[in-house]
Chains A and B, each alone.
Chain A
Amino acid sequence: TQLLEQSPQFLSIQEGENLTVYCNSSSVFSSLQWYRQEPGEGPVLLVTVVTGGEVKKLKRLTFQFGDARKDSSLHITAAQPGDTGLYLCAGAWEKKSSGDKLTFGTGTRLAVRP
């Protein structure tokens, strides 16, 4: 079973602070996705990274895929209360002719205080 460990598990910060969430595995993935989930809702895709070393930016969010495609990080600059939620990384590896298999990390619950 491929495991994705996220850290920290919980994070409570003040509005305006920066933070980084880490996603680590011993497995190599064909791609890695980051999701944000609000209470009672399904996960919503933020970004997909495919190439080792790739960096993608989405407004105040910066995503990086490790060179070996085993780990990833999510950095949020100047966090806002609207960033509050559960952040999930998910590693995908290709299954021939049957679509990707997606394994989720343990999740990081972020609370941004006004």
Chain B
Amino acid sequence: EAEVAQSPRYKITEKSQAVAFWCDPISGHATLYWYRQILGQGPELLVQFQDESVVDDSQLPKDRFSAERLKGVDSTLKIQPAELGDSAMYLCASSRGRHSGNTIYFGEGSWLTVV
């Protein structure tokens, strides 16, 4: 079964440094999501793409976070500069999109620790 691929799985970075996460969704999936999950809590949506366009980034801290999906396939989430409070799991997910009721599949996540 096809999977959502994410890298790196684990990242330790010093505060004020830049960090980037990559996601390759399931082939053919138009909708791509980036979520942040703090330990012990439910995931929180950061940004949602439909093809290459951002359709929801209302919860993305735009002063330090950016996300792109230039060709409507894979996506990169960047944090610059990283802060201690950014330590969390960053989850990528995808779905066929374009209408309701599509199953959303998650990757294994990228753990970020900011020291």
Interface residues of A (CB under 8 A from B): 4, 6, 30-31, 33, 35, 40-45, 48, 50, 88, 90, 92-95, 97-107, 109
Contact A98 B33 (CB under 8 A): no
Give me the 10 closest cross-chain CB pairs, A-B, nearest first.
A99-B31, A99-B97, A104-B42, A94-B100, A42-B106, A98-B50, A98-B55, A107-B42, A42-B109, A104-B43
Residue B48 at the A interface, CB < 8 A? yes
A100–B95 Cα distance when bound, in Å, is 9
Residue B19 at the A interface, CB < 8 A? no
* Main SS at interface, chain A: strand
* Main SS at interface, chain B: loop
Q: Which of A42, A88, A100, A107 has the most CB of B within 10 A?
A: A42
**A and B contact pairs by CB, cutoff 8 A, 29 listed:** A31-B100, A42-B4, A42-B106, A42-B109, A43-B43, A43-B106, A45-B104, A45-B105, A88-B42, A93-B100, A97-B50, A97-B98, A97-B99, A98-B50, A98-B56, A99-B48, A99-B50, A99-B98, A99-B99, A100-B31, A100-B97, A100-B102, A101-B45, A102-B93, A103-B45, A104-B43, A105-B42, A106-B41, A107-B42
